[in-house]
């Protein structure tokens, strides 16, 4: 039973435009959300996170939005660059089990020059 | 500072054989985690060590999997006997502290193929 869902397996965006990656979750016990980025033959690397008490967190070109009532979050990348091409994993942690990261299946982003 | 390293990078074995994966965490990181990604699906948690103790092994699929972390340094994950459904990429991660805001650093993974 998948608790973190990323319904778009892939996404293509032109360089300079906005990339929006979406994520939905089912577990109401999640209170901390993360995005990881993964290049081929490498492990996931932490990108940005958001606590459930916030609805937005921004770090440079990356912004994560959280809609807790809809159990939905999104990652915005503006402007998109070719080096952003990677698999992006949405992930979450439960308040009672912080060390266990629950991942979604990932969205493969291609930024076209 | 060296990152998390894993060995081997690839392993191809036949069903019924035994395979041992190794993970060396970042020096000084007491927390070590094993995860697995099967067939392009989500990355699933397997277990969590704090030093040499298993803190949470709720994600271990069955008793064919044995994880150890003798001395609280590197860890091994043994699969015996391997089955076809064990194929996937096994990631190891480490962190300095437990808790919500602590970042887990991932290794490059070991791709296991069971034929």
Predicted confidence at residue B97, as pLDDT, reads: 80
List CB contacts (< 8 A) between A98 and chain B: 98-100, 102
Cα B89 to Cα B40: distance, rounded to the nearest angstrom? 9
Predicted confidence at residue B100, as pLDDT, reads: 61
Residues B42-100: tens digit of each pLDDT: 999 999 999 999 999 999 999 999 999 988 899 999 999 999 999 999 999 999 887 66
Asked if residues A89 and A103 have their Cβ atoms less than 8 Å apart, the reply is yes
Tell me which residue of B108, B76, B85, B106 sits closest to B10, measured CA to CA.
B108
Predicted confidence at residue A44, as pLDDT, reads: 96
Residues B1-16: tens digit of each pLDDT: 689 999 999 999 999 9
B42 → closest Cβ in A32, A93, A104: A104
Which class for B30: exposed (0-12), middle (13-18), buried (19 or more C-beta within 10 A)?
middle
Q: What percent of chain A has pLDDT over 90?
A: 91
Q: Three-state SS for A32?
A: strand
B100 → closest Cβ in A4, A42, A93: A93
Predicted confidence at residue B105, as pLDDT, reads: 94
List CB contacts (< 8 A) between A36 and chain B: 106
Predicted confidence at residue A8, as pLDDT, reads: 95
Res A10 pLDDT > 80: yes
Would you list the DSSP string of B23-64? EEPPTT--EEEEEEE-TTS-EEEEEEEETTEEEE-TT--STT
Residues A63-81: tens digit of each pLDDT: 999 999 999 999 999 999 9
Predicted confidence at residue B82, as pLDDT, reads: 96
Bond into B81 cis (ω within 30): yes
Tokens of residue A2, six digits: 């998948």
């Amino acid at each position: 039973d998948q608790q973190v869902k990323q319904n778009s397996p892939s996404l293509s965006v032109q360089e300079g435009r906005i990339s929006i990656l979406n994520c939905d979750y089912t577990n109401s016990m999640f209170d901390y959300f993360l995005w990881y980025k993964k290049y081929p033959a490498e492990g996931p690397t932490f990108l940005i996170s958001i606590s459930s008490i916030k609805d937005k967190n921004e770090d440079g070109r990356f912004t994560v939005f959280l809609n807790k009532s809809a159990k939905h979050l999104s990652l915005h990348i503006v402007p998109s660059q070719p080096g952003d091409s990677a698999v992006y994993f949405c992930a979450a942690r439960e308040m009672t089990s912080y060390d266990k990261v629950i991942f979604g299946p990932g969205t493969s982003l291609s930024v076209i020059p | 500072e060296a990152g998390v390293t894993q060995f081997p990078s690839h392993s191809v074995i036949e069903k019924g054989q035994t395979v041992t994966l190794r993970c060396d965490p970042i020096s000084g990181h007491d927390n070590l985690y094993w995860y697995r990604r099967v067939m392009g699906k989500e990355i699933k948690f397997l277990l969590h060590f704090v030093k040499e103790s298993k803190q949470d092994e709720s994600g271990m699929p069955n008793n064919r999997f044995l994880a150890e972390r003798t001395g609280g340094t590197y860890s091994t994950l043994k699969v015996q006997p391997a089955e076809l459904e064990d194929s996937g990429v096994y990631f190891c991660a480490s962190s300095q502290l437990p808790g919500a805001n602590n970042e887990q650093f991932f290794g490059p993974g070991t791709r296991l193929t069971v034929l």
